[in-house]
Structure 1
Amino acid sequence: MADPRPKKAKICLCMFLCLLAAGVIAVVVGIRMRRHSSQLMKWNGTGSTAHFQEIVLERCYNYTQLVQPALRDRDCQKIREAFRNAFISKDPCSATEEDYHPLMKLVNQTVPCDKTVFWSKTKKLAHQYTKVQREMFTLEDTLLGYIADDLSWCGDAGSHEMNYQSCPHWKKDCSNNFVSVFWGLLSKRFAANACGVVQVVLNGSISNAFDGKSTFGRVEVHNLNPMKVHTLQAWVIHDLGKFPSDSCSGSSINDLSWIMKQRNIKFTCQDNYSSVKFLQCVKKPEDSSCR
């Protein structure tokens, strides 16, 4: 009978060589990946959010299954893929609205008339309001706004990787970066689709409650459709414990009123709208204005 030991030795040697080769390949790939990462463009803004793709998918499933089950037929895998394809392997300072059109086509969402809430420098308070008044919608209460809220993303031309080190800052680097273009397009569509009576929550504790350079003043106001929107209601809210700096009678609100008049949209304004004021007082009931 032949001695089986030489055959076993050959098998062990082959396995050892295969493992050694795999280890060498892994080291080489790791070095190349690190080298490629270090070659990505360096910008002045925050890098892509860690686990970006996983967050997008998780938020999409949560929204379509729990927050708005009426949208459960939306394909979250395709939405995640279209979102990534919009910016990956592209110059992060050359974004266009067309880059996001395939993504927008996957998400056709209608906000009911009289349920649209805009905000400017009052994000937290506006979201507290729609969290209680669940039939109302801010931009971040829509599917794509919900998915992308507070995330950062960018890639690099010629690379299939996301840049987690830095992304373009809209002031210091370029305004046509993929995050800014995304929110500009989403804001434009959100305003254009609004109908009936729409609301805006403005900050009366700053000197210009209506800021023409804000997203609301620069994009959303001018994309309201007078054939669909008949009234804009402004709620100028003052922070508790702070001296009011602007009000419905202030010059900035007069500017907003004038713009609405030019666009044939009725305008009304109310200081410290009671429903929103109540939310402030729940947080700080000891404030004198809450008594």
Structure 2
Amino acid sequence: MPSQRGSARRRQRGVLLAGIAILLLALVLAAVLASALTRGKKEESLEPLRWQGRGTTRNLREIVLGRCYGYLAERRAELGDKDCLKIWESLKDAFIHKNPCNATTEDYQPLMKLASHPIPCNKSLFWSKTNDLVHLYTKSSRRFLTLEDTFLGYMFDGISWCGDPSAPGINYESCPKWSECEGNPGSVFWKMASKMFAEAACGVVQVMLNGSIETGAFRSSSIFGSVEILNLNPDKVSEVQIWLMHDIGGPQSESCSGYSIKKLKNILEERNFKITCEDNYRPVQLLQCVHNPDHPDCSLCTNSTEAP
């Protein structure tokens, strides 16, 4: 009998040990499975959101700081004290770790305040669909300032940025196009900057439009048509001069008497602005001809030197 009882105890102990081993194995397997699932979720959460536009410009911090210090080196007397590091931190705080379709004007308000400066009267030059030509002109003449020639515009012209909820908080692969969502960083930033630029304008202001565009030189949906023109102050701006430029050798789709220009004039007149319009403003056209000297459109002065 004692041997039978000992044998029974050994069997019970064996069953108990086997049960414990099975339980431990089950716990280990559960832990491994949970770890794998968690790791999978983390890897999935690290995948940045995908958009149709180009991603954040590489070396964004270095570019912004370099442009900031470079601009101040030339024009510090005009701008006063500006803190480039604070400007960069303000930009970063506006978008990092945020969904790029949820940008707000409040996000960029500190940046606008840090980078703002007065615009001299009679210097403001607005534009639409004349990007290359208008900036070629401002760089050569230095008589006028576009938004991109101001401190704020110069720092951020031609670069892109957007955040992402996942680490590292910046999406270098893609950012939303303006058409993908209205509240994207680029749209919010440039509309705010354009509004501030228009509000600062005083005296005589100019706008350079493209008369070679078949759909019309003036578009109410453009930044100029939807933001800048509505924020010009009739109490500060004495006159709006329209320069309607045509591409050298290109079509002359519209003149100062064209449909879209009439629409622009009506909007300005309703807001009590004095308006003039000139087809192919001569100083700008001569600049176009520097790059196309042999084109028939550039034979402007051939008769002026001939004897009567």
TM-score, scaled to structure 1 = 0.85
Residue 218 of structure 2 aligns with an amino acid whose one-letter code is: F
- Are 1:270 and 2:278 matched, yes or no? yes
Select 2:187's aligned residue among 172, 177, 180. 180
Match of 1:7 in 2: none
8 Å contact 2:46–2:167 — kept in the other structure?
no
> What's the Cα RMSD here?
1.8
Select 2:100's aligned residue among 63, 68, 92. 92
Residue 178 of structure 1 aligns with an amino acid whose one-letter code is: P
Matches within 5 A, 1:46-195: 46-66=54-74, 69-71=77-79, 73-157=81-165, 159-171=167-179, 173-195=180-202
Which residues of structure 1 form unaligned runs of 5+?
1-30
Matches within 5 A, 1:24-63: 35=43, 39-63=47-71
8 Å contact 1:237–1:273 — kept in the other structure?
yes
- Of residues 68-77 and 38-47 in structure 1, the stretch that sits farther from structure 2 once superposed is 68-77
Aligned-residue offset at 1:278: 0.8
8 Å contact 2:52–2:175 — kept in the other structure?
yes
CA distance in 2, matches of 1:86, 1:181: 11
CA distance in 2, matches of 1:186, 1:197: 20
How many residues align? The count is 259
- Are 1:200 and 2:237 matched, yes or no? no
Deviation per CA, 1:119-154, whole angstroms, max 9, x where unpaired?
100011110111122131000001110011011100
Q: CA 1:37–1:131 in structure 2 vs 1: closer, same or farther (change >3 Å)?
A: farther
8 Å contact 1:232–1:266 — kept in the other structure?
yes
8 Å contact 1:248–1:269 — kept in the other structure?
yes
Select 2:229's aligned residue among 221, 244, 252. 221
CA distance in 2, matches of 1:51, 1:202: 34
Select 1:281's aligned residue among 272, 279, 289. 289
Deviation per CA, 1:62-87, whole angstroms, max 9, x where unpaired?
11112555336211111111111111
8 Å contact 1:63–1:69 — kept in the other structure?
no
Indicate the SS of the match to 1:39.
coil
Q: CA 1:69–1:58 in structure 2 vs 1: closer, same or farther (change >3 Å)?
A: farther
Matches within 5 A, 1:241-256: 241-256=249-264
- Are 1:212 and 2:216 matched, yes or no? no
Match of 1:236 in 2: 244
Which residues of structure 2 form unaligned runs of 5+?
1-38, 300-308
